[in-house]
Amino acid sequence: MPCCHRGRAKPGRVRPSTWTSAESEATPALTVPLNFIPGGVALLPAPQNLTVLSTNMKHLLMWSPVAQPRETVSYSVEYQGEYESLYTSHLWIPSSRCSPTDSLECDVTDDITATVPYNFRVRAMLGSQTSAWSTLEPPFNRNSTVLIPPRMVVTEYGLHLVIKLEDLGPLFEFLVFYWRKEPDATEHFKVVKSGDSPLHLGTMEPGATYCVKAQARVNAIGRHSAFSQTRCVKMQGESLPLALALAAFVGFMLVLMGVLFSIWKMGQLLRYSCCPSVVLPDTLKITSSSQKLISCRQEEEVDTCAVAPLSSEHLFGVWLLQHCK
């Protein structure tokens, strides 16, 4: 059997190792994960920089990405309300919209239903690998949301002032203030329960300019936004000068008095036309209750006279017979 001779390398020199093609095909390539825990189980980095961006009661949970070259990492989001955190701390509820998600943000508005602290946690997932949980610190309460004024459109239709407000959701109501643009003007306001529908503020004076501003209010958290930018519009038509308005009023009153006088005069004419009053001549008036009328009959050429008292109605009848012959 031939023997093998192993030479000793000279000091200060390293003998290079030589891989044949057969050796390289027989030896598998080794991949070392960037993150691992003792025991050889791969572990993804946990998401960092958890924060909640909350505006007008819309809550968005955000985090930094977990970088894995040429790989798509997904994420899982879970939360705890006040009850779970106090009495069942081991119980976490998956978010209704983001379990899982490939995005770096999660809309948790529907998960937050009360004005209490909420805990959130996020972890990364890649195949069978998962990261540790990252927890939001401190917990989020919706009463810290940032309230901004609603967008508003003000228009005029003839003499009607109409506005349309941005719809911010069922938790919002709006306070709308409007006034005529003039010194020491009186502000009027209306409470609007929902936006996205035209609101008629009232019928205004022609030619005048009116201004409107609004603010959003959330009774669930007892807060309201600042006022929106004031919008002013000028109504159609021209306003009448004060002197002309007074003259028009006086003219109207004079016409009204003339009409009333004409109606009274017509009533008087109709009364005397239909029911005239007759005045007796002085010769037929009875001046004394003892006066008597002597009626003489001349049928038998006998001077026979009868004396009888007559009433005023009888005397009037005799006078009519004498004048109608």
Instruction: Domain of residue 193: give its range.
Output: 152-234
Give 275's pLDDT tier (boundaries 50, 70, 90).
Answer: low
What's the total number of domains in the chain? 2
Question: What is the overall mean pLDDT for the chain?
Answer: 78
CATH of residue 164? 2.60.40.10
Q: List the Cα angle 112/115/117 in 5-degree steps.
A: 75
Same domain, 190 and 223: yes
- What does the alpha-carbon distance between residue 115 and residue 53 come to, in Å, rounded to a whole number? 16
Exposure string of 14-42, with b = 16+ CB inside 10 Å and e = fewer, is eeeeeeeeeeeeeeeeeeeeeeeeeeeee
Instruction: Flag whether pLDDT at 147 surpasses 70.
Output: yes
Give 206's pLDDT tier (boundaries 50, 70, 90).
Answer: confident
Same domain, 87 and 123: yes
Query: Looking at 85, 111, 144, which one is the last position of a domain?
Result: 144
As separate numbers, helices (DSSP H) first and strands (DSSP E) second, the chain gives 4, 18
Query: Looking at 93, 113, 144, which one is the last position of a domain?
Result: 144
Same domain, 138 and 187: no
Q: What's the first-to-final CA gap in the chain, in angstroms?
A: 191
Report the percent of the chain where pLDDT is more than 70. 67
Lowest average pLDDT, out of 112-116, 280-284, 302-306, 317-321, goes to 302-306
Nearest to 115 by CA among 145, 85, 91, 135: 145
CA distances from 155 to 106, 214, 216 (A): 38, 15, 20
Residue range 163-171: average pLDDT?
92
Same domain, 66 and 128: yes
Instruction: Cite the DSSP H helix spans in 139-178.
Output: none
Report CA Rg, the chain. 54
123 inside domain:
yes
Instruction: Flag whether pLDDT at 229 surpasses 90.
Output: yes
Is the pTM of the predicted complex or chain greater than 0.75? no
Same domain, 80 and 125: yes
CA distances from 270 to 246, 260, 267, 273 (A): 37, 16, 5, 5
259 inside domain:
no
Comparing 6 with 277, which gets the higher pLDDT? 277
Same domain, 184 and 110: no
pLDDT at 312: 61
Instruction: Flag whether pLDDT at 294 surpasses 70.
Output: no
Query: Looking at 201, 234, 267, which one is the last position of a domain?
Result: 234
318 inside domain:
no
**CB of 170 within 8 A of CB of 196?**
no
Residue range 45-51: average pLDDT?
95
pLDDT at 240: 52
Instruction: Cite the DSSP H helix spans in the chain.
Output: 21-26, 82-87, 242-274, 312-324
314 inside domain:
no
64 inside domain:
yes
